[in-house]
Amino acid sequence: MFNIGDLAVYPAHGVGVIEAIETKSFSGMESTFYIMRILESGMTIMVPKKNASQIGMRNIISSDEKNTVYSILQSADSTTTPVAWNKRFREYTEKLKTGSIFDLAQVLRELYLLQRSKSLSFGEKKMLKTAKSLVVKELAIVEDLAETKIVSKIDAIFNCASTGE
């Protein structure tokens, strides 16, 4: 599925590079692992090759898919979210775990719009920051732009949404 040097996305951690593919022996059984370094944190993780797709590890989105991400962010339609912050938090946590950038974009949009009308809980603020960071990192790689440029583009989307432009 992946080769050394490939960029991949690991759910809830973001974009990483496959630095090695190694076979290790545990309890007499051999397994092959992707050794992946997460770009944002520098953390190195071992992902069992046979479980990579099941846990949501995926390729970076295509240029066409990036347009879908921007469409989601620009969408005025807000999905129905539970009123209680803890129910919203659980729902959004499940979306983050999928590893889908489209789910991340939905969470980012929902929380960004929600914070305009009410104060977010500490957990929701942290989740907003995480979702934004993960979306920004992947879009920056796809568009070959600095992350600050992507942040500006996303902020402009939400600023236009607040003014109705």
Q: Which residue has the higher pLDDT, 12 or 4?
A: 4
Q: pTM for this one?
A: 0.86
Confidence of residue 158 (pLDDT cuts 50, 70, 90): confident
Confidence of residue 163 (pLDDT cuts 50, 70, 90): very low
Residue 20 carries which DSSP code? E
Q: Which domains does the chain have, with CATH numbers?
A: 7-59 (2.40.10.170), 63-163 (1.20.58.1290)
Which phi and psi angles does 144 have, rounded to 5°?
Answer: 55, 50
Q: Which residue has the higher pLDDT, 79 or 32?
A: 32
The answer to whether 107 touches 94, Cβ cutoff 8 Å, is no
**CA dist 8 to 40, 93, 114, Å?**
13, 21, 30
The set of residues, in sequence order, having a beta carbon less than 8 Å from that of 7 and lying 6+ positions away, is 15, 16, 17, 18, 59, 60, 141
**pLDDT of 136:** 96
Q: What's the distance, CA 80 to chain centroid?
A: 21
For residues 144 and 152, give the distance between their C-alpha atoms in angstroms, rounded to a whole number: 15
Confidence of residue 87 (pLDDT cuts 50, 70, 90): confident
Average pLDDT over residues 92-118: 90
**pLDDT of 165:** 45
